[in-house]
A and B are shown apart, each in its own frame.
Chain A
Amino acid sequence: MNTQTQAFPAPSSLKVLPGTEAAQAAYPYYMQFTAADDQRFWFYNSMHFPEPMSAFDMVTAEAAYCALGSSTTRVHCIPTTLGIDYRILNGRVYIGGNAVTDPAEIARRTHEFQQRAFYYYGNWERLYAQWREKMLTLINEAQALPKLELPELEPLANVHAGRGIAANHQLLEIYQKTLEGYFRMWHHHFEFLLLGYGAYMTFFAFCKKAFPEISDQTIARMVAGIEAEIFRPDEEVRRLARRAVELGVDDEFREGRTAQAVLTALESRGTAGRDWLGELAVSRDPWFNINVGDGFYHYHRSWNDDLSMPFAGLPGYIARVRAGESLERPIEALKQQRRQLIEDYRELLASDEERQAYDQMIGLAHRVFPYVEGHKFYCEHWYTNLFFNKIREFGALLAAHGFFAREEDVFQLTHYEVEAAIIDLMTSWSNGSPPRGPQHWPPIVRERRAAIAEWAKHSTPPALGPVPEVIDDPAIVMLWGITRESLDSWLRAGDASSRELRGFAASSGVVEGPACVVRSVEEIARVRPGDILVCQITNPTWAPIFQKIAGAVSDIGGSMSHAAIVAREFGLPAVVGTGTATTRIRDGQRIRVDGGRGIVTLLS
């Protein structure tokens, strides 16, 4: 197919939706498209930002791309790529790679890369152990930030201590530390990430050459860890199911009963009930600090904030415990299976020379991959959760002073505007005059909420600008799994008459059933046993409901995504990264999921 003549729409041809211009203008100037951007290829980062971004949530793109680019461009000096440029339009984040093409520059950067990245690989275990310490320190610092207080008068103790700095200043200090900590966290996030993916990609590319027909998921199974942190939250839910049966309080966990109702009931079940609540507290810290999304949106609340996800899984697990299942993951058997898989493919190689190269590459991938799997829990889940909750505290304070109606409204302001509102409040406390915010912000918040609702109604092109001949930017290939083939399928996707959707084959098996199209976690209660879950993105936090569904389809994700890893372990047919499943599939429509081939067929 000749795609030379084909192109995606130019950024300048994409218009801000009528009535949302002011909301669009709220995003900082450096995120807005300009005419020069028409010459470049951009794609919609639906993997990380599948929904329109509120003004505040853009901080995640900002902090993440700032840190990602620092790592690739200046810290490790990846020879062939600089960082990621990003723009926002109609709440959607478009990104573009920044390839290095000059051979002399590549050579110079290769030399630097070997001084920098190779050092990291060479000292991986020590640096990764150090990384965990740094991350826990960062988390502790965030947890230690004081509660927000704005007393009527400066406490007498402070005056007598000669503190000299008044209480209102602490608001600015805490806010700036909160924001600074978030930017810092993203640097930690990317400290090892590209290097970890790179080792995986090296092994992946070798396997694809040696075994042209090997599936992505088979390679993923050879590399993926078995005791990774991502499995832990679901393991805790299983543990709680076992404890409920052991303590004889399992009758309180019934399908459809709210978490709050269960908790209340357990409080009146004497010692056994209290014991189970004690077990719950143990699991919650830290393992329930996991978001129901990827942690990039303020409304991706954690299990700790909303117990409905883990509690939705408990009745099913309890039924299995009663039926005599242990629910323990068979760790040793899984490890043995992985060893056997690696050994069997090794045997198929053509020569001992290839086997030695294979050993070197899988060895490296195994050394570095625990980081790739482990960092998410600390960064995207635990830390991000603390961050958004701290901002929520500012929202509550500002709402209490009449800046807007609800604490959640704070997320309609950019992080610059939140700081402005805080200074407004600080000023008002200082000068004794009412703050200006209560007049200023409510109409803006209304306007921005309306804009997000409007943007969400419209789909956005998967890519913009000229079609590149090849996609070989390692960062884009590694992190987004985008290849030239994906572009071709996006170009074809305009043809909506097809009954088939293609994505990544995430977990093999074929299943037919009714689709349950879930657009947000609040809808999770609608999922019925035997349904095929269709959602924008799944992650390990959805694991508790994996036991009752027949298959899963997502808009976003690759074969190494956590959803794919968990689906494989559940033996659940899954296709991820279809791009359009939630828009093309109707709720209740019968579909067939072929997880081995990555194809979803619309049957009715």
Chain B
Amino acid sequence: MTAFAHIAWFDEIGLGDREQVGGKGGSLGELTRAGISVPGGFVVRTGAFERFLATLERQAPVRAAVAALEADDLDAITRCSRALRERIEAAALPAEVAADLTAAHARLVRSRLAQPLAVRSSATCEDAQQASFAGLQDTYLWVRGLGEITRRVRSCWASLYSVESISYRLKQGFPEERVAMAVVVQVMVDAAASGVMFTRSPTTGDRSVVTIEAAWGVGSAVVGGEVTPDRWVLGKITGEVSTREISDKHIQHVAAEQGGVAAVAVSEERRRIPCLSDAELQELRSLARRIEGHYGRAQDIEWAIDREGGAIRLLQSRPETVWSAREAAPIAKPEQDPLMHLLSVFGTRRCR
């Protein structure tokens, strides 16, 4: 295999490589190596971004310009953001980055030049323990051809300088020199249905259930809150379905003619029927157990069901942050005399 300086294939990387491939890239690599079905792809390493940025910095300051801003000066942030994004989107890729990207793209799509791809931001500050950066950077779906891919890689880099991202970093006091962006390029899944799942109950923190939310089409409608998803709660161990909430899924995201996704109405007969079969729910559950087992902690997982063949593809997995952050006292401790446990039932008036 030809070594690329600026590209890393999913099966070459893991969580330990986050500095070079960002949070999302590291996670997709980790899952791929664990044998989980992830749509094939590669990461444009942060080194490429650094090389690109170095060229820009020679023309005019970038990081120093951001670092100089006041967190509450929205006007200044907006002006700076617009200027930086225009510069990033107009600049050419450094030659060796362009060469690696061209070669990697060719290898990924092989003869299918019009193979739709997803181009996804993968920032290094998207820290694994802290999902708060999620959603601040851009993702581009159904991108076709090297020219468009290249343009969207630059857009991802530019999204690091969106008003929201800059404001967030300034508020958090996050040092600009540590901010870098890798970009994931992977095969687009034409999803029949897609969604998210949590390996802990978001409502009770229960570790013994898997909560699955899903809707028709591509997951952007679910993640973006544009549709009320169907919702199931399954026993993680038993597979028993304790909750089934089938909602009115009035729209779905599908591939748009010009690239990207478009919201279209769901036909009357499909709106109120479950978008997943029981077999798919069980398959998702076993996938959730595998991924959680791999990481050794609760996960928040995005997935899609391929319209072609019906296989489940993993798109993202990140640690659950809300319940994991709570330090709970043990529910019970071992007793010198195990019989003392009985007094919790026999010996006290229980109050609620």
* Across-interface contacts of A114 in B (CB, < 8 A): 339
| A340-395 residues at the B interface, CB under 8 angstroms | 341, 344-345, 348-351, 353-354, 356-361, 363-364
Residues of A within 8 A of B (CB): 78-80, 99, 101, 106, 110, 113-114, 117-118, 121-122, 198-199, 201-202, 205-206, 209-215, 218, 341, 344-345, 348-351, 353-354, 356-361, 363-364, 470, 472, 474, 484, 508, 596-597
CB contact under 8 A between A341 and B338, given known A78-B346, A101-B349: no
A78-B348 Cα distance, complex, nearest whole Å: 10
State which of A113, A357, A474, A597 has its C-beta within 8 Å of the C-beta of B333.
Answer: A357
Indicate if the CB atoms of B342 and A202 lie closer than 8 Å: yes
DSSP class of A's interface residues: helix, strand, loop or mixed?
helix
- Contact of B207 with A by CB under 8 A: yes
10 interchain pairs (CB within 8 A)? A101-B349, A117-B342, A202-B342, A348-B207, A357-B332, A357-B335, A357-B341, A361-B341, A470-B352, A596-B241
Q: Which of B28-36, B111-119, B177-185, B229-237 contacts A (4 or more CB under 8 A)?
A: B229-237
In the complex, which residues 204-235 of chain B have their Cβ closer than 8 Å to any Cβ of chain A? 204-209, 233, 235
Contact A212 B334 (CB under 8 A): no
B351 touches A212 (CB 8 A): no
Contact A213 B237 (CB under 8 A): no
Tell me if A202 and B238 are in contact (CB < 8 A): no
- Are A364 and B352 also in contact (CB < 8 A) when A113-B346, A214-B208, A474-B346 are? no
A79 cross-chain contacts in B, Cβ below 8 A: 343, 346-348
Known contacts A199-B342, A596-B240; 17 additional CB pairs below 8 A are A78-B346, A79-B343, A122-B339, A198-B346, A202-B341, A205-B344, A210-B331, A211-B209, A218-B237, A218-B240, A348-B237, A350-B328, A357-B333, A357-B334, A357-B335, A361-B332, A364-B338
Question: A344–B345 contact, CB under 8 A?
Answer: no
Asked if B2 is at the interface of the complex by the 8 Å CB criterion, the answer is: no
CA distance A484 to B332 in the complex (A): 24
Inter-chain contact A110/B242, CB cutoff 8 Å: no
- Residues in chain B near residue A358, CB distance under 8 A: 332
Is residue B330 contacting chain A, with contact meaning CB distance below 8 A? Answer: yes
In the bound complex, what is the Cα–Cα distance between A206 and B338 (angstroms)? 13
> Does B201 belong to the interface (CB within 8 Å)?
yes
Q: Are A596 and B242 in contact (CB under 8 A)?
A: yes
Q: Please report the C-alpha to C-alpha distance between residue A199 and residue B237 in the assembled complex, in whole angstroms.
A: 23
| B238 contact set on A, CB distance < 8 A | 215, 218, 341
With A and B bound together, what is the CA distance between A359 and B243 in angstroms? 29
Chain A nearest Cβ from B216, distance in angstroms: 23
A359: chain B residues within 8 A (beta carbon): 334
Number of interface residues of B (CB under 8 A): 37
- Closest beta carbon of chain A to B207's beta carbon, Å: 5
Q: Is the CB of B208 within 8 A of A364?
A: no
Instruction: Tell me how far the C-beta of A4 lies from the nearest C-beta in chain B, rounded to whole angstroms.
Output: 15
Known A78-B346, A215-B240, A470-B352; contact A360-B208, beta-carbon cutoff 8 A: no
Chain A residues, Cβ within 8 Å of B233: 213
Taking A213-B206, A356-B334, A357-B331 as contacts, is the C-beta distance between A597 and B242 under 8 angstroms? Answer: yes
Note all chain B residues with C-beta closer than 8 A to A122. 339
B183-213 to A contact mask, C-beta < 8 Å, 1/0: 0000000000000000001001111110000
Task: Identify A344's interface contact among B237, B240, B241, B330, CB under 8 A.
Answer: B237
**A341 partner residues in chain B, CB cutoff 8 A:** 237-238
A206 to chain B, nearest CB (A): 6
Determine whether the beta carbon of B240 is less than 8 Å from that of A364: no
| Interchain CA distance A356-B341 in the complex, whole Å | 12
Which residues on the A side are within 8 Å of B206 (C-beta)? 211-214
The docked-state distance in angstroms from the alpha carbon of A359 to that of B346 is 19
For the complex, give the distance between the alpha carbons of A596 and B244 in Å.
11
Are B346 and A213 within 8 A (Cβ)?
Answer: no
Q: Which residues of B contact A350 (CB under 8 A)?
A: 207, 328, 330-331
Q: Complex formed: what's the CA distance from A205 to B218 in Å?
A: 42
B79 interface residue per 8 A CB criterion: no
Q: Is B110 an interface residue (CB 8 A)?
A: no
> Within 8 Å CB of B346, what residues of A?
78-80, 113, 117, 198, 474
Q: B348 → chain A, closest Cβ, in Å?
A: 7
Verify if B350 is at the interface (C-beta below 8 Å from A).
Answer: yes
CB nearest neighbor in B for A77: B346
Q: Are B332 and A206 in contact (CB under 8 A)?
A: yes
Give Cα A212–Cα B328 distance, bound, in whole angstroms. Answer: 14
Which 4 A-B residue pairings sit nearest by Cβ, starting from the closest?
A356-B334, A360-B338, A357-B332, A211-B208
- Chain A neighbourhood of B205, CB < 8 A: 212
Q: Is the CB of B208 within 8 A of A80?
A: no
Q: Are A80 and B347 in contact (CB under 8 A)?
A: yes
Contacts of B339 in A (CB 8 A): 114, 118, 121-122, 364
Q: Which residues of chain A are within 8 angstroms of B241 by Cβ–Cβ distance?
A: 508, 596
Q: Which residues of B contact A99 (CB under 8 A)?
A: 349
- Candidates B242, B331, B341, B345; contact of A213 at CB < 8 Å: B242
A209 contacts which chain B residues (CB < 8 A)? 331-332
Q: How far is the CA of A373 from the CA of B126 in the complex (A)?
A: 55
Q: Which of B243, B346, B351 has the most CB of A within 10 A?
A: B346
Contact indicator B347/A202 (Cβ below 8 Å): no
Residue of A nearest to B208 (CB): A211
- A351: B residues at CB distance < 8 A: 330
Within 8 A of A (CB), among B112-161: none
Cβ A212 vs Cβ B201 within 8 A: yes
A201 surroundings in chain B (CB, below 8 A)? 345
Are A348 and B240 in contact, with the CB atoms below 8 A? no
CA distance A451 to B344 in the complex (A): 45
Q: Which residue of A lies closest to B200 (CB)?
A: A348
Q: How far is the CA of A572 from the CA of B18 in the complex (A)?
A: 50
**Chain A residues within an 8 Å CB radius of B201:** 212-213
B307-352 CB contacts (< 8 Å) to partner A: 328, 330-335, 338-339, 341-352
Smallest CB separation, B197 vs chain A (Å): 15
Known A-B contacts A211-B208, A218-B240, A360-B335; the reply to A354 vs B344 at CB < 8 A is no
Known: A213-B233, A344-B237, A472-B350. A354 touches B330 (CB 8 A): yes
Would A353 and B330 count as touching, CB distance under 8 A? yes
CB distance from A473 to the nearest CB of B (A): 9
Q: How many angstroms between the C-alpha atoms of A226 and B205 in the bound complex?
A: 32
State the Cβ distance, B145 to closest chain A Cβ, in Å.
47
Q: In whole Å, how far is B242's beta carbon from the nearest beta carbon of chain A? A: 6
A565 and B205 CA atoms in complex are apart in Å by: 29
Once bound together, how far apart are the Cα atoms of A516 and B60, in whole Å? Answer: 83
Complex: A597 Cα to B240 Cα, angstroms: 9
Whole-angstrom CA separation of A199 from B334 in the bound complex? 15
Closest residue to B209 on the A side, CB-wise?
A213
Q: How far is the CA of A259 from the CA of B236 in the complex (A)?
A: 47
Closest B residue to A221 using CB positions = B238
Give complex CA distance A348, B233 in Å: 17
B331 contacts A354, CB within 8 Å?
yes
* B304, chain A: closest CB distance, angstroms: 26
Q: Which residues of B contact A472 (CB under 8 A)?
A: 349-351
Residues of B within 8 A of A354 (CB): 330-333
**Are B208 and A213 touching (Cβ within 8 A)?**
yes
The distance in angstroms between the C-alpha atoms of A345 and B240, with both chains bound, is 14
Asked whether A80 and B348 contact (CB < 8 A) given A357-B333, A360-B334, the answer is yes
- Distance of A106 Cα from B343 Cα, bound (Å): 11
> How far, in whole Å, are A508 and B344 apart by their CA atoms in the complex?
30
* Residues in A neighbouring B235, C-beta threshold 8 A: 214-215, 218
Give CA–CA (A114, B340) in the complex, Å. 9
Q: How far apart sit A335 and B244, CA to CA, in the bound complex (Å)?
A: 31
A109 — nearest CB in chain B belongs to which residue? B347
Give the distance in Å from the alpha carbon of A474 to the alpha carbon of B238 in the complex: 29
- Report A352 CB to chain B, min CB distance, Å: 9
- The reply to whether A348 and B332 form a contact with Cβ atoms under 8 Å apart is no
Shortest beta-carbon distance from B117 to chain A in Å: 38
Distance between A509 CB and nearest chain B CB, rounded to angstroms: 9
Q: Complex: how many Å from CA A117 to CA B344? A: 14
Alpha-carbon distance A202/B345, docked complex (angstroms): 6
Q: Which residue of B lies closest to A469 (CB)?
A: B352
State in angstroms the CA–CA spacing of A110 and B344 once bound together: 11
> Do the beta carbons of B204 and A474 come within 8 Å of each other?
no
